[in-house]
Amino acid sequence: MSLSPFPCAPSSSVRVAAAVRHAVATGLLGESGPVAGFVDTDGVRDSVAALHEAFAGVPGVLHTFAAKAASLVPVLRLLAECGMGCEVASPGELRIALDAGFAPSRIVLDSPAKTREEIRRALALGVALNADNLDEVDRIASLRPSNAASVVGLRVNPQVGGGSIGAMSTATATSKFGVALRDPGARELVVEAFAAHPWLTRLHAHVGSQGCSLELIAAGIGETYRLAEEINTVLGRRQITGLDIGGGLPVNFADDEVRPTFAAYAAALRAAVPGLFDGRYELVTEFGRSLLAKNGFIGALVEYTKDAGGRRIALTHAGAQTATRTVFMPDAWPLRVGAFGSDGRPKAGPSLVQDIAGPCCFAGDVVAHARELPELREGDYVVLYDTGAYYFSTPWAYNSLPRPAVYGFRTEAGPDGPSVRFAAVRDAQSLDSISAESGLAHADALLHFPS
């Protein structure tokens, strides 16, 4: 049963097709806007509802959204309105989380290299912090006022191994994150830190993201849970009252199906760590990609097509500047591509093997290699599916290409098919803005150094 606000809401694939058609018809996609990102707000609400439902009945759970996955104030405000908290990892992410309306008490700061100023600001605001290492615990102790309201935790690395994407695995033997629990003497030092600082009341662990199985994630959380039990037993008091179990639920990029689900994730945790849900520990989650990826897409105009070496190439405006991971790690981050005609409707007809290339000025700027799609022509459109997280929200400024516009959309069923309403999330970057960011105000600075 759909959790959408509309009782007869169209399916996700129907909503995307309707959004593309209406975006082309209204000019949001076209000559003046050759690439744009789109956020399905109905889908976002559905995903948040599914997460909350998976943990229904579990007391003391704070679900936070990893701001890095969609660092756009209107998107964060929508998530706040849906009952989410926010996980941040930099001063910039903290700023936009506050601007989006998250209460400081519902924000968690996880930056692995916090400056003294970051720590002071978080403590002054009452934002929760997870120290990345024992030296940072000492730094927090030196800066923490006696009346600080911030919950403070320590991140540990359970060292349970990596998933299929090494760069996304954070519980390997040599991960840069957290205190490596299996290193000689590390566990004892963690216990000593908690004994020395009664205000240290939370443990944090995150095994990794895309490419990590439910079993691996559950193993890491299990190790963290057992450490909490050990510390409380050794100290003879219930000092650790909360566990931040991170996020990392992988996303299925192969088709429309949402798998694994949040329900499957919760079931895996119940099986592996049954005591986790008995209410003795407040829980914090930090999901990002799994909430937004399937609720967004990129639409791009096909500017030209050409043949080279017997291969058809469609040159579009969606490349490495907005699909960076896919271009540089295509095997780890493949994307589905949809072919749409100049009227914004899905193309039909015989399939043709084609490369979908982007606008960046280097040979590797290809988002899809040798894909069988209906033949694309100049003036058609391509859609990159499942790009609601990490893609258009955090573009790369290569070639001084402008940041694409982003729109939210909402779809309602109607007698003549779905109707779509759009709302601007971020305007396309102007050339004036690009020049200003490139140092225009200091244009003569290297010609005349001050004496």
CATH of the domain at 416: 2.40.37.10
On whether both 262 and 163 belong to a single domain, the answer is yes
Q: Are strands 296-308 and 311-316 parallel, antiparallel or unpaired?
A: antiparallel
Tokens 């439902």 identify what position?
A: 53
383 neighbors 336 (Cβ within 8 angstroms)? no
Q: Which two tokens stand for residue 300?
A: 């791009």
On whether both 114 and 248 belong to a single domain, the answer is yes
Q: Are strands 85-88 and 35-40 parallel, antiparallel or unpaired?
A: unpaired
What's the pLDDT band for 270 if we cut at 50, 70, 90?
A: very high
What average pLDDT does the chain have?
94
Please report, rounded to a whole number, the percentage of residues in the chain having pLDDT higher than 90.
89
299 part of a folded domain: yes
**CATH number for the domain harbouring residue 187:** 3.20.20.10
On whether both 101 and 246 belong to a single domain, the answer is yes
Tell me if the bond preceding 404 is cis, omega within 30° of 0. Answer: no
Count of domains for the chain: 2
pLDDT over 80 (residue 416): no
Cβ burial of 50 (10 Å; 0-12, 13-18, 19+) is middle
Q: Are strands 107-109 and 128-131 parallel, antiparallel or unpaired?
A: parallel
Look at residue 1 in the predicted model and tell me its pLDDT: 30
Residues 396, 400: Cα–Cα separation, whole Å: 9
* Mean pLDDT of all residues in 183-207: 96
Listed residues 252, 276, 292: the one ending a domain? 292
Q: Pick the closest to residue 98 from 121, 117, 116, 120 (CA basis).
A: 121
Q: Pick the closest to residue 247 from 223, 227, 220, 225 (CA basis).
A: 220
On whether both 190 and 236 belong to a single domain, the answer is yes
Alpha helices (runs of H) in 116-185, residue ranges in sequence order: 116-125, 134-143
Look at residue 353 in the predicted model and tell me its pLDDT: 97
Look at residue 7 in the predicted model and tell me its pLDDT: 42
Beta bridge partners of 359: none
pLDDT over 90 (residue 414): no
Cβ within 8 Å of residue 417, ≥6 positions away: 18
Q: Pick the closest to residue 246 from 281, 284, 189 (CA basis).
A: 284
Q: Pick the closest to residue 337 from 349, 321, 325, 323 (CA basis).
A: 323
Residue 233's SS3 state is helix
What's the pLDDT band for 417 if we cut at 50, 70, 90?
A: confident
* Mean pLDDT of all residues in 429-451: 95
110 part of a folded domain: yes
Beta bridge partners of 356: 314, 368
What percent of the chain is helix, strand and coil (3-state, nearest 5)? 35, 25, 45
* Mean pLDDT of all residues in 74-89: 98
On whether both 414 and 272 belong to a single domain, the answer is no
On whether both 301 and 183 belong to a single domain, the answer is no
On whether both 46 and 142 belong to a single domain, the answer is yes
* Mean pLDDT of all residues in 212-217: 91
Look at residue 165 in the predicted model and tell me its pLDDT: 78
447 part of a folded domain: no
Look at residue 172 in the predicted model and tell me its pLDDT: 84
On whether both 21 and 90 belong to a single domain, the answer is no
451 part of a folded domain: no
Q: Which two tokens stand for residue 17?
A: 């097709």
Q: Which amino acid is at 311?
A: R
Q: In this predicted model, what pLDDT tens digit does every residue of 357-393 receive, in sequence order?
A: 999 999 999 999 999 999 999 999 999 999 999 999 9
Q: What is the domain range of residue 352? A: 12-39+293-430
On whether both 169 and 312 belong to a single domain, the answer is no
CA angle 374, 334, 387 (to 5 degrees): 90
441 part of a folded domain: no
On whether both 258 and 303 belong to a single domain, the answer is no
Q: In this predicted model, what pLDDT tens digit does every residue of 223-256 receive, in sequence order?
A: 999 999 999 999 999 999 999 999 999 999 999 9
Q: In this predicted model, what pLDDT tens digit does every residue of 1-38 receive, in sequence order?
A: 334 433 455 778 899 999 999 999 999 999 999 999 99
| Neighbour tally for 95: CB within 10 Å | 13
Q: Are strands 381-384 and 337-340 parallel, antiparallel or unpaired?
A: antiparallel
1 part of a folded domain: no
On whether both 23 and 85 belong to a single domain, the answer is no
Alpha helices (runs of H) in 144-261, residue ranges in sequence order: 186-196, 214-235
Look at residue 9 in the predicted model and tell me its pLDDT: 56
What's the pLDDT band for 167 if we cut at 50, 70, 90?
A: confident
Look at residue 6 in the predicted model and tell me its pLDDT: 39
Listed residues 267, 292, 317: the one ending a domain? 292
Listed residues 232, 261, 292: the one ending a domain? 292
143 part of a folded domain: yes
181 neighbors 187 (Cβ within 8 angstroms)? yes
* Mean pLDDT of all residues in 257-274: 96
444 part of a folded domain: no
On whether both 288 and 300 belong to a single domain, the answer is no
Backbone angles phi, psi at 441, to 5 degrees: -65, -15
Quickly count helices (H) and strands (E) in the chain.
12, 18
Q: In this predicted model, what pLDDT tens digit does every residue of 103-139 receive, in sequence order?
A: 999 999 999 999 999 999 999 999 999 999 999 999 9
Residues 294, 257: Cα–Cα separation, whole Å: 9
| Residue-wise DSSP of 263-285 | HHHHHHHHHH-GGGGSSSSEEEE
